[in-house]
Chain A
Amino acid sequence: MGQIEWAMWANEQALASGLILITGGIVATAGRFTQWYFGAYSIVAGVFVCLLEYPRGKRKKGSTMERCGQKYMTAVVKLFGPLTRNYYIRAVLHLLLSVPAGFLLATILGTACLAIASGIYLLAAVRGEQWTPIEPKPRERPQVGGTIKQPPSNPPPRPPAEARKKPSEEAAAAEGPSAGPQTNPIPVTDEIV
């Protein structure tokens, strides 16, 4: 399993954990369970985790599929530099974030999932992986359909008659799919001064 970038799976797991934390937090707060303030914390922590994990990092090998609209969050996450690039920091951060949610039954599932994500990030960090932002590619591809270039159907303009040493052979060799020798629609003049 040499090529696996664990950080990619950790990212999916952390994103899912964020959503579970938010859901558990909403249930606990809305139901006014005992110690429901942990639920409120859980919602905030869940939102933070989701925002942090939404932009997918760039794969080392191969192309990476971006999540929809992730470029805005990429810009923000990029700002923190080494804090977000380093996966050790992320592993520790997720572990710390998950602990308070463990006090409440409604959010304990989020704790477990986030802790697992933290573990996978630790594995990724040990293997030297890093978060690199996906930069937008400069658009140089032309539009579909409008610019299919067919190979030119006319041969290049020929120098005037004086320069041509063997006109008969040239004419024979010039046969291609287009029928017959080329006649220039516009008279070609030599512009050598």
Chain B
Amino acid sequence: MISQNVMDGCGRNLVDELGRKVNRTSQLDFGVGPDADPAYKWDTKRKLLSLLEVCALPSANERLRSLEEVEKEIASILQNAGFAIQELAKDKPVERQLERFYAQFHSSLSRVETELTGHIRYLTQVTTGQPHEGSSNAPRKDALMAMHRVEHTRIKLGELAQLCEQSLGPAPP
């Protein structure tokens, strides 16, 4: 009898412990939880290395940002050319304004030329012409298999907890 009570108590503790363990596997930070999609859908949820993640690399980000600045410079070239011609079209054009717009036009033009030439020179140095054959598929497969292991463990623990609940009946209030 004592052993039966102890067994019940142990069983109850086990159910509680199993419940805690199930929750612990669910809290693994893969964006999945008790109500989340099953494991076979995780790979579709995992973000592949998007361009944004690639751009998080500092060197890549700097180069792309400088190209964005070049695009703005190109727009300012056209704008300053337009302003200069507009100033010239007036009945009484102000020479200082005209010279200022022309100077800005010319400096933007030089900056664009310098920047783009630098980028093309860099590309000449780093381009190999051969396709890059590196991939992160192997570590990705390993990570996916690890997540499958976790999911499998979670399912098994859930089943065990359910079995214990059925055997021992609902917990007393």
Q: Do A and B bind each other?
A: no
B-to-A contact residues, CB < 8 Å: none
A-to-B contact residues, CB < 8 Å: none
